[in-house]
Amino acid sequence: MTLSFAQKPTLVGDRVLLRPVGAGDVDGLVELLVDPESNRLTGTHAVFDPESAADLEKAERWYTSRDDHDDRLDLAIVEREGGTYVGEVVLKELDTDNRACGFRISLVGPRAFGRGYGTEATRLIVGHAFETVGVNRIELEVFDFNPRARHVYEKVGFVHEGTKRQALRWDDEWVDTHMMAIVASDWRRQS
Ligand SMILES: CC(C)(COP(=O)(O)OP(=O)(O)OC[C@H]1O[C@@H](n2cnc3c(N)ncnc32)[C@H](O)[C@@H]1OP(=O)(O)O)[C@@H](O)C(=O)NCCC(=O)NCCS
C-alpha cells in the first residue's frame, strides 16, 4: 500500500483536538503570521502584511487548499473546550520510498504557549503518523535559541542527530540549527 496523507483525520486529546485546517481558521493563521515571536522561533523571514488584500487572499488560499495534498497533513490545533484555534501542526514532504516526513508546529503566541498544548499536539500527530499511516521516520529542525521547543520534542521522543552551524541569520547574528528525528521503533519502545 502506498503511503499517503490523503486521509485528513480529527485527533482528540485531553486539552486539544487536531482537525483539518479550513476557511474558518484563516484569522488564526493571520495571527500566527504577524506574530514576531512565532516568526523568530520558526525563522520566518517573509513579512506578512495584514492590510494587504493579496496577502490575505494568499492565506485564505493556503488554508482552503490543504486537503488537496496527499503528501502533507495540516491540522489546526484547537482547544478541546470551546474549539478556539490555537495553532497548527504539520506533517510535510512525505517521502513514500523511505516512509519519512518532516514536521512543524506553531502556536499563536503567549496566549497559547506553556499550557501543554504543544506537547499534546506533537504526541497526537506523531502517534497518528506511526500507528495509522505507517510512517517510519519524522524529522524536524529547531533553532538553538528555542530550548522550549527542543525540550518538547525530546519529551515526545525526538533524538538530536546533528547540528547545522550558522544555518540561520537572524537580527544580524548567526544561529545554529539542530536536526532531530524520531523513528517508529523509538515510538513503540516508549509507548
Ligand atoms: C514550541 C511550542 C510548540 C511548544 O508548545 P507549548 O504548548 O508552548 O509547550 P508545552 O506547554 O507543551 O511544554 C513546554 C515545556 O517546555 C519547558 N520549557 C519552557 N521554557 C523552556 C526553556 N526556556 N528551556 C527549556 N524548557 C522550557 C516547559 O517547562 C515544558 O516542559 P515540562 O512539561 O517538562 O515542564 C510552542 O511554544 C510554539 O509554538 N512556539 C512558537 C513556535 C515554535 O517555536 N515552533 C517550533 C519551531 S521548531
Q: Which of 92, 152, 155, 163 to mutate to test the pocket of ligand 1 (most atoms within 8 A of CB)?
A: 152
CA 191 to chain centre: 21
Mean pLDDT to the nearest integer, 69-86? 97
pLDDT at res. 22: 97
Average pLDDT, the chain: 97
Q: Give CATH superfamily name and number for 11-190.
A: Gcn5-related N-acetyltransferase (GNAT) (3.40.630.30)
Q: What is the spatial distance between Cα 151 and Cα 146, in angstroms, rounded to a whole number?
A: 9
Q: Is the dihedral of CA 83, 118, 164, 138 positive or negative?
A: negative
Q: Where are the domains of the chain?
A: 11-190
Count CB atoms within 10 A of the CB of residue 78: 21
With 90 as the cut, is the pLDDT of residue 146 above it?
yes
Nearest ligand 1 atom to the CA of 143 is: 48
pLDDT of residue 148: 97
